[in-house]
Structure 1
Amino acid sequence: MEKIKPWLFKVAYHTFIDVLRKDKHLIQVKDSEVLNHLLDQNQAKSAEDEYVIKDQLNNWYIAVNQLTVSKRNALLLRDYYQLSYQEIADILNLSLSKVKVSIYRGRKEIEKKWLDDYS
């Protein structure tokens, strides 16, 4: 079962790229499941807590969207889908070291953006 997971992600990823190439449009998706998952994890107790979490999530989405495609894909597969580095390498047809570097640099870029915006 575990060996099927990277293959399925790879097929889905390449299908997504094909659709983007055909449409030639930039599609931005707001994933409400991510928000609900985050809210459930943090057990938001008040409207203020919920607002802060939504704001942080929105800012994270903005920062991730500013990354290059390879960094964005690697970061999302690692942090949201919690795939291993090797699974990500298999899905994206990249070397293991390239995946690690992309994720590291993507996280650093997001951290720098947050520090610049909130300092």
Structure 2
Amino acid sequence: MAFIEAKPVQATEKAGGKGTITIVHLLGQEELDGKCAMFSKVIIPPLCSIGVHEHKGNTEAYHILSGKAVYNDNGTEKEIGAGTTTFCPEGEKHGIANASSTEDLVFTALIINK
């Protein structure tokens, strides 16, 4: 068993979104062994977002840990919260925005390579 040191990075206007988010990489490329591009905790501050983007060669799932979000699924927006899991198949588009003006949106993100 190994313990992995989480590595947070800042991303500004991610995929054309608003503001600066924090991505905490829970596993690195060595542990993911080419099967996944990312397994991370994402923190989106109030009124910030990840812009709508298309997945090519991979899929992505979000699992909301805390906060409220507006999730964009190929142009259809829906409010979601803690306990919700989303899935974006290859060739489709999604984005996510923090719907709160006071609370961080926190979720895990898993990108699986095709």
Q: TM-score, structure 1 length as denominator?
A: 0.23
More strand as a share of residues:
2
- Larger of the two Rg values belongs to structure: 1
